[in-house]
Amino acid sequence: MEKYFYIVFLENPKNGIDNLAEIMEVASRDYGCHDIEEYVMEQREVDSVLGEKALVSDEIPEEVLDKIEKVWKQKEKAETKFIFYGKNAEDRAEKFNEYIGQVVNGFNHHIEQKKWEDWNTKWRRYYSPIEISPELKVYPVWDMKEKETEDQNIIYINPGMGFGTGYHETTWLCLKIFDDLLKGHDDISGECLDFGCGSGILGISVIRKLGIPVTFCDVDVDAMDNCLENITINFKNKAMDQHSLIIRKRMNKAKKYKLIFANILQDVLLDEKVFLQDSLDSDGYLIISGILEDQCDTILKNYNRLELVKEEKRNEWRALLLRLSPRKNK
């Protein structure tokens, strides 16, 4: 039987939609949208603005950045794509398309049905290696070389239709905080929980860099399948008995972890605040992402048993590194 996924296209005016961030949050929270692709300028468009600077410098002068932004704003239109797949995907996409019609006026929006295999074709065209730092890189599986399969600095991902390819800001931010944390705390022991694991990229990075046991947890069966595939890609013929994949409802509430990733939306973070804080071991770290700038204060107030160590930002997205210190836990 043929499998499909569905894309809701929303045409943005050149000056943007004021409540686009809210629409994105509603798409994921209320309609089960699995991925959102915002418009970005293609490399050839950027290079045409940069001219010779595209070839000679990694540092782009501020006046050139201003020029790029001006060119972007002059575009007559751009599209934001909301991607739905899995159970009742067509129905959820249709209802979300109706919602868009209610909250934005005068902007074109429509649904397209795509064959499942089109997803892999698309990713092979656009997915390229991502370097968080020289010590942490993410490669697509089709770039895998036999000699590099044991490289502890490289994670391989088959970009399936689940969160966590490394391209989205929230995943990138988690990897950045983890990479920075390793530079001062490479002796982290205990166990790790990748909560809302998606592709498994975060937990896989922990296995690569620290070798400690990881529990991968999600509510989405399709995401768990992709997670297992990526674990197998990275650790083929390796004993993986100390690691586990668990659906959320079967999680052990009494277990403690030294490191927890929670790359999920604000509403889920609020719903899971007791579980996540209870699951953190003394002196353990919680890396939270999936939140926007104006949501940070709400998250910090609800995770007040923990200390804020640092905040990272990328565009409108934010990530927080929190710690459960013995003093604050008394």
Q: What is the pLDDT of residue 155?
A: 92
Measured CA angle at 261 (ends 206, 325), to 5 deg: 100
Alpha carbon distance 310, 174 (integer Å) = 12
Looking at the fold, whether 23 and 134 belong to one and the same domain comes out as: no
Cβ–Cβ < 8 Å for 322, 303: yes
Looking at the fold, whether 107 and 136 belong to one and the same domain comes out as: no
Q: For residue range 23-35, what is the model confidence (pLDDT) as tens digits?
A: 888 988 889 887 7
User: Chain-wide mean pLDDT for the chain?
Assistant: 81
Query: What total of structural domains would you count in the chain?
Result: 2
Looking at the fold, whether 156 and 116 belong to one and the same domain comes out as: no
- Rounded to 10 degrees, the C-alpha dihedral 46/50/51/57 comes to -120
pLDDT exceeds 60 at position 43: no
Q: What percent of the chain has pLDDT over 90?
A: 41
Q: Domain containing 149: what range?
A: 127-323
Tokens linked to 316: 């409108």
Q: What is the pLDDT of residue 44?
A: 46
Tokens linked to 291: 């939140």
Q: What is the pLDDT of residue 184?
A: 77
Measured CA angle at 221 (ends 262, 211), to 5 deg: 50
Last residue of one domain, picked from the residues 63, 89, 122: 122
Q: For residue range 165-182, what is the model confidence (pLDDT) as tens digits?
A: 666 788 999 999 999 999
Q: For residue range 246-297, what is the model confidence (pLDDT) as tens digits?
A: 999 899 888 999 999 999 989 999 999 999 999 999 999 999 999 999 999 9
Residue 285 lies in a domain: yes
CATH code of the domain containing 295: 3.40.50.150
Residue 40 lies in a domain: yes
* Three-class secondary structure of residue 111 per DSSP: strand
Q: What is the pLDDT of residue 109?
A: 92
Looking at the fold, whether 9 and 143 belong to one and the same domain comes out as: no
Looking at the fold, whether 133 and 248 belong to one and the same domain comes out as: yes
Residue 330 lies in a domain: no
CATH code of the domain containing 29: 3.30.70.260
Residue 329 lies in a domain: no
Last residue of one domain, picked from the residues 82, 106, 122: 122
Q: What is the pLDDT of residue 325?
A: 81
Looking at the fold, whether 202 and 93 belong to one and the same domain comes out as: no
Looking at the fold, whether 112 and 131 belong to one and the same domain comes out as: no
Give the mean model confidence (pLDDT) for residues 120-141.
Answer: 78
Looking at the fold, whether 202 and 148 belong to one and the same domain comes out as: yes
Report the range of poorest mean pLDDT among 12-16, 92-96, 235-239: 12-16
Last residue of one domain, picked from the residues 122, 149, 165: 122
Residue 328 lies in a domain: no
Q: For residue range 50-100, what is the model confidence (pLDDT) as tens digits?
A: 444 443 444 445 555 555 455 545 554 577 889 887 778 899 999 999 999
Residue 181 lies in a domain: yes
Looking at the fold, whether 256 and 302 belong to one and the same domain comes out as: yes
Report the range of poorest mean pLDDT among 113-117, 198-202, 311-315: 113-117
Residue 80 lies in a domain: yes
155: β partners: 138
8: β partners: 82, 111
pLDDT exceeds 50 at position 228: yes
Looking at the fold, whether 108 and 189 belong to one and the same domain comes out as: no
Could you tell me the pTM of the whole model? 0.70
Residue 167 lies in a domain: yes
Looking at the fold, whether 85 and 138 belong to one and the same domain comes out as: no
Looking at the fold, whether 20 and 147 belong to one and the same domain comes out as: no
